[in-house]
Structure 1
Amino acid sequence: MKEIIFITTQGCRVKRKDNQIVAFQEKEKIASFPVNRIEKLFVFGNVEITTSAVSFLLSRNVDIFLLSQTGKLKGVITTPLKSNYNNRLKQFRAYFSEKNLYIAKFFVEKKIYQIQKFTGQDLSNYLKMLKNTDSYNQILGIEGNVSALFFDHFKEYLKDKDLGFEKRQYNPPPDPVNALLSLTYSIFYSFLFSVALSRGYDPYVGFLHRKRGTHAAFVSDVMEAFRVDLTKFVGILFNSRFITVEDFNQENNTFHLKPDSLKKFIRIYHKNFIQDKDYKKQIEKFFLELEEVL
């Protein structure tokens, strides 16, 4: 079975050796992966990857994701698109039609149902307002209100009240919880970027989110259907003390995971989301529903 590989060791060099991708720290081999077992490669921070390794991976249709040490997506090296362009055409047609708002509602509706399930609260009034509105700004307002409600509940869900979490904040994250939320979202955003491309979509043509700079708005749209699960996962890690304040470094009023803690986090994240068969089925099911809506 193919796997998604994460390289997090700072200062290492990734090379091709025969039919393997090998990571070296100075002259010592620290990891090796047969290329036929690699589905995608994620590279964090100060990691050097040779052009021969890049060419070899691309020849085997392996996308390479370049992220900052804190998990922010910096770029993607991908093969020429070979996917079904019909989805992209449907996406463009929907974007320039009356379907635009309907599809924006689709993403928010999915999020509301997930929040309702997590909080146990009756959010039917928000669903009714969403159904009855034809205003893009009102759709954004509804999404913003339910998100605020969700994070209020999440704050209470966290057992350790000394973590410093008050509300969702980023750029920079002011506490360990926000830092781990940002990392968790960013990795999944990168993963969905690749999924969107592989299914023939344009990652930048969104319905709920609107493109700004290099923001992949469509990917952020899709993220909304999974954001509650990802957030709950972060809460479980803190509540079980699998991750604690001691796993973080604090620099310039922001937080990021220590190198060994990042590796620990990646392992459990990989197991529970990225490589989990059941969760992959959920993602597949969501995209099939989206294709029907488009």
Structure 2
Amino acid sequence: LMKEIIFITTQGCRVKRKDNQIVAFQEKEKIASFPINRIEKLFVFGNVEITTSAVSFLLSRNVDIFLLSQTGKLKGVITTPLKSNYNNRLKQFRAYFSEKNLYIAKFFVEKKIYQIQKFTGQDLSNYLKMLKNADSYNQILGIEGNVSALFFDHFKEYLKDKDLGFEKRQYNPPPDPVNALLSLTYSIFYSFLFSAALSRGYDPYVGFLHRKRGTHAAFVSDVMEAFRVDLTKFVGILFNSRFITLEDFKQENNTFHLKPDSLKKFIRIYHKNFIQDKDYKKQIEKFFLELEEVL
């Protein structure tokens, strides 16, 4: 049975357990139901109530529950007690406190450079050389910063519709629709990788390229770097094909959000192209296997 990742975005609805189903109600009306054995993960956006019995039932079947704001910022994860695979965690800590630290930071940046090279068609071998020879954390960060800036310059040209107002990557808050959709796309994937890291026994907070600040899961952001280019290109394609346009957003407090129906439309295509895509799941699997080799 193909398990699915379920997204609940309808504001004000209530999620309950009913026999072997997880059911969403709006007022008294049932708007969706999912057999428990079909659910892989549950994402809940914004103002959605979920009963304790539904939470307990999901946890008993090893389903992680992600609580996100209406704009997709991760607020928290309800997850079963940690799997006892702590070998990876020990390897991660050992590497963090050893000379290997920089080598692993480089591993993440190298992955990103290859991705950018593929997307832009530019020859970035000089950056790869610089990365290889870098002998301090700050040098590595500098190289990553430069390549990222180069990438977003290229992305800006890649976007056909100049009225979207995209200049460069900006968040907190995103000042234009493109940045808003990038933030949402990254945030959902970050949540997804958060649970992937946990289930493989890693500590989401001990990063190599990103260093901890606040509640930021630095290790998850490290892993994100290997996928960020694909995610960004996906957002570009949505705008270029006019699947998502300016009309899909509402503007408030100097930032942009997808309208409720547009959020549903976006989640559907994101779900199909990334989240539920078999090849993509394989890519994530392959990446974690490579990482195990390096650690």
CA RMSD between the two structures = 0.5
For structure 2, the residue ranges without an aligned partner over 5 or more in a row are: none
- The Cα of 1:168 is off from its aligned counterpart by 0.3
- The Cα of 1:83 is off from its aligned counterpart by 4.5
- Listed one character per residue, the Cα deviations across residues 47-86 of structure 1 (whole Å, up to 9, x for unaligned) are 0000000000000000000000000000000001124211
- Deviant stretches of 4+, over 2 Å: none
CA distance in 1, matches of 2:138, 2:37: 47
CA distance in 2, matches of 1:284, 1:53: 29
Q: Percent identity?
A: 98
CA distance in 2, matches of 1:24, 1:289: 43
Contact 1:12 1:26 in 2 (8 A): yes
Q: In the alignment, which residue of structure 2 is the partner of 1:95? A: 96
CA distance in 1, matches of 2:115, 2:14: 41
Contact 1:4 1:274 in 2 (8 A): yes
Q: Secondary structure at the match of 1:173?
A: coil
CA distance in 2, matches of 1:135, 1:241: 43
Q: In the alignment, which residue of structure 1 is the partner of 2:243? A: 242
CA distance in 2, matches of 1:261, 1:125: 42
CA distance in 1, matches of 2:75, 2:213: 15
For structure 1, the residue ranges without an aligned partner over 5 or more in a row are: none
- The Cα of 1:144 is off from its aligned counterpart by 0.2
CA distance in 1, matches of 2:280, 2:79: 24
Contact 1:83 1:198 in 2 (8 A): no
CA distance in 2, matches of 1:171, 1:84: 35
CA distance in 1, matches of 2:85, 2:173: 38
Distance 1:83 1:4, change over 3 A: farther
- The Cα of 1:107 is off from its aligned counterpart by 0.1
- Listed one character per residue, the Cα deviations across residues 146-169 of structure 1 (whole Å, up to 9, x for unaligned) are 000000000000000110000000
- The Cα of 1:287 is off from its aligned counterpart by 0.5
Distance 1:268 1:153, change over 3 A: same
- The Cα of 1:143 is off from its aligned counterpart by 0.2
- Listed one character per residue, the Cα deviations across residues 262-282 of structure 1 (whole Å, up to 9, x for unaligned) are 000000000000000000001
Contact 1:83 1:197 in 2 (8 A): no
Q: In the alignment, which residue of structure 1 is the partner of 2:270? A: 269
Q: In the alignment, which residue of structure 2 is the partner of 1:13? A: 14
Contact 1:83 1:199 in 2 (8 A): no
Q: Secondary structure at the match of 2:164?
A: coil
Q: In the alignment, which residue of structure 2 is the partner of 1:52? A: 53
- The Cα of 1:99 is off from its aligned counterpart by 0.4
CA distance in 2, matches of 1:208, 1:186: 18
Contact 1:21 1:34 in 2 (8 A): yes
CA distance in 2, matches of 1:19, 1:213: 39
Structure 1 length as normaliser, TM-score?
A: 0.99
Q: In the alignment, which residue of structure 2 is the partner of 1:67? A: 68
- Listed one character per residue, the Cα deviations across residues 118-173 of structure 1 (whole Å, up to 9, x for unaligned) are 00001011100000011100100000000000000000000001100000000010
CA distance in 1, matches of 2:42, 2:227: 22
CA distance in 2, matches of 1:237, 1:116: 21
Contact 1:13 1:47 in 2 (8 A): yes
Query: How many equivalent residue pairs?
Result: 294
